[in-house]
Every structure is written in C-alpha cells, then in structure tokens.
Amino acid sequence: MTQPTPSRDACPCGRGPDYPACCGRFSGTATPAPDAESLMRSRYSAFVRGDAAHLLATWHASTRPATLELESGVKWLGLEVRAHRAIDADHAEVEFVARSRLAGRASRLHERSRFVREGGQWYYVDGDLFTKDRA
C-alpha cells in the first residue's frame, strides 16, 4: 500500500484550491465529511493519492472489504459530479463520472453511489455502475 504524500497542489476532486484545505481535511483526521458529496470527493482524491487507508475507513462495515489493493499505474484524470441527492437526513446518493488511464488506455467510471450516515460520519455503502453515459 502506498502512503499518501502531503501536497499543496490543487485538490484532485476539482473543488478546492489545495488538497489540505479541501479533501485533505477529511483524510486521517477526526473531521467527518459534512455530506455524502464531500465524502465521495475525498474518496476520489484518495484513489488519486493512493490512500487506501482513507478508502477503507470511509467504507461502511457491511460492504467493506478486509483489504484493498489499489491498481498501480492508474492515472486519474478528473472527476465530474453529476448529481447529489439527499434521500433523508442519513442516506444520500451521488452520481459521478471519474476518468482514468492505465497503460495508455482511457476509462470512464460512471456510478451512482449510496452513502449512509452513522454516528455523525458518512460512509460509502455501494453503487450502481452505468454501462453507457446518459445524454
């Protein structure tokens, strides 16, 4: 597992001016993400930065794998949040498209993710993949 490196570069999620002030404040700290979209963005940033510990810590216990090996060589190219829908105070969905490249081959991950809040902390539960992007 690769350890994340501190950076003052723009946040990978595309929302904030730098990682520590944006998604970095939710990684490895006791500061919970305020909503499901912020958690999803921090998880995307964790993929970009190779932070498997953050991914596991924010994955709901009911669906979390015992270990997580991130694929080496993946270059994450960008994130587009298409929708954020609060179902109720403790359940939400976030639809997003994440673009990446591996060994010169481009890929798009289009998912509607489900999140739950327990004890004031949001967790990723699971998601549905779209096989074709909607127009």
Q: List per-residue pLDDT tens for the chain, 135 residues long.
A: 444 444 458 999 999 889 999 999 999 877 999 999 999 999 999 999 999 999 999 999 999 999 999 999 999 999 999 999 999 999 999 999 999 999 999 999 999 999 999 999 999 999 999 987 544
What are 87-111's pLDDT values in tens digits? 999 999 999 999 999 999 999 999 9
Nearest to 98 by CA among 43, 27, 26: 43
Q: What string of DSSP letters covers 82-115?
A: EEEEEEETTEEEEEEEEEEEETTEEEEEEEEEEE
CA–CA separation, 23 vs 35, rounded Å?
A: 12
CA–CA separation, 89 vs 30, rounded Å?
A: 21
CA–CA separation, 94 vs 82, rounded Å?
A: 8
What pTM, to 2 d.p., does this model score?
A: 0.89
CA–CA separation, 58 vs 43, rounded Å?
A: 8
CA–CA separation, 78 vs 47, rounded Å?
A: 11
Nearest to 111 by CA among 132, 133, 128: 128
